[in-house]
């Protein structure tokens, strides 16, 4: 919630240990939106009473994967999650409207929703030129694709994201089509790329979905190129030069975020990220993380009280 101020910069991260004052044992409180069929991925009410064993699972990553020691070679310590609370909105129906709904759906209930599927791939250190990177995801209605890229030596590890020196012609290859058709030129026109990211989030104009990433963090690439600067590898500069480049591409056939099956079908053919790398990457493996935002149909068996997601 809000921004952290450190050395005059508004940054997304924050310190949990300050070597100068040896402050430790800090407590932080977070309010996290749930992403998926029970949270921000859907605009439909979910009939919790029609299925068994409804639960939300959170898996905490190893602390070394998301926290950097305050000093070179320093220890990180441990992190404890406590006082977890689930807060949701619940609507209880009277007997009469409940019986009407049950009579109209005696066996199966179908709910339109959205969700995410993830996959990874790699660009080897020093890669350049045209590279078509396979996206290991197949869905019937892809609405948006988000891509992050983490160099192996980034201080923020897999939570760092840089532009892999992408020039004119960068696009997704979906069902034999290039999207966007004119391609993107990330390193020379990052503002245009950021507008495409906004559209991938559902914005119809640049006044919406401006995000929480500052320009110094977004304009970060594998090496100095175009309008972008190389990502940070110096511990002292981590708070002000953390790379947060995200490539987002809108893939809806009709611009209607809540519409059923409004995305492109990528079930029948492999999909690729076409990387036009204008200058050789740094000599480190770059891991690409793909987040496919897609339509899903939830089929609830009223009698068996089970649920199946069809995508």
* Domain chopping of the chain, boundaries: 4-310
pLDDT digits (tens, 9 = 90+) for 204-235: 766 666 667 788 889 999 999 999 999 988 88
> What is the chain's pLDDT, residue by residue, as a tens digit (311 residues)?
455 555 554 555 666 665 555 556 677 778 888 877 777 667 778 888 888 877 788 888 888 887 777 777 777 777 888 888 888 888 888 888 878 888 888 889 888 888 899 999 999 999 999 999 999 999 999 999 999 999 999 988 888 999 999 999 999 999 889 999 999 999 999 999 998 998 898 877 666 666 677 888 899 999 999 999 999 888 877 766 778 999 999 998 876 555 567 889 999 889 999 999 999 999 999 999 999 999 888 899 988 988 888 88
4-310 under CATH 2.60.120.730, yes or no: yes
Q: In the 3-class helix/strand/coil scheme, how is the chain assigned residue by residue?
A: CCCEEECCEEECCCCCCECCCCECCCCCCCCCCCCCCCCCCCCCCCCHHHCCCCCCCCCCCCHHHCCCCCCCCCCCCCCCCCCCCCCCCCCCCCHHHHHHHHHHCCCEEEEEEEEEEEEEEEECCCCCEEEEEEECCCCCCEEEEEEEEEECCCCCHHHCECECCECCCEEEEECCEEEEEEEECCCCCHHHHHHHHHHHCCCCCCCCCCCCCCHHHHCEECCCECCEEECCCCHHHCCCCCCECCEEEECECCCCCCCCCCEECCCCCCEEEEEEECCCCCCCCEEEEEEEEEEEEEEEECCCCEEEEEC
pLDDT digits (tens, 9 = 90+) for 23-68: 566 777 788 888 777 776 677 788 888 888 777 888 888 888 877 7
């Amino acid at each position: 919630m809000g921004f952290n101020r450190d050395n005059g910069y508004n940054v997304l991260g924050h310190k949990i240990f300050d070597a100068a004052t040896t402050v430790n044992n800090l407590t932080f409180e977070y309010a996290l939106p749930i992403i998926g069929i029970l949270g921000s991925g859907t605009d439909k009410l979910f009939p919790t009473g029609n299925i068994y064993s409804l639960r939300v699972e959170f898996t905490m990553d190893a602390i070394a994967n998301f926290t950097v020691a305050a000093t070179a070679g320093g220890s990180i310590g441990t992190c404890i999650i406590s006082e977890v609370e689930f807060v949701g909105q619940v609507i209880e129906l009277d007997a009469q409207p409940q019986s009407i709904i049950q009579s109209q759906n005696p066996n199966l209930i179908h709910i339109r929703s959205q969700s995410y599927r993830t996959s990874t791939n790699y660009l080897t250190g020093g890669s350049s030129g045209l590279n078509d990177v396979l996206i290991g995801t197949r869905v019937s209605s892809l609405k948006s694709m988000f891509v992050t890229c983490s160099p192996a030596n980034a201080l923020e590890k897999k939570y760092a994201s840089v532009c892999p020196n992408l020039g004119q012609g960068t696009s997704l290859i979906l069902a034999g089509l290039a999207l966007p058709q004119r391609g993107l030129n990330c390193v020379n026109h990052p503002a245009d790329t950021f507008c495409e990211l906004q559209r991938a989030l559902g914005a119809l104009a640049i006044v919406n979905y401006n995000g929480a990433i500052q320009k110094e963090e977004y304009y970060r690439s594998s090496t100095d190129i175009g309008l972008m600067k190389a990502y940070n590898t110096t511990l002292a500069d981590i708070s002000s030069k953390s790379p947060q480049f995200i490539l987002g591409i809108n893939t809806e056939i009709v611009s209607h975020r809540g519409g059923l099956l409004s995305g492109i079908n990528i079930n029948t053919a492999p999909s690729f990220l076409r990387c036009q790398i204008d200058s050789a990457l740094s000599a480190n493996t770059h891991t690409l993380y793909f987040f496919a935002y897609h339509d899903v149909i939830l089929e609830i068996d009223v009698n068996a009280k089970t649920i199946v997601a069809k995508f």
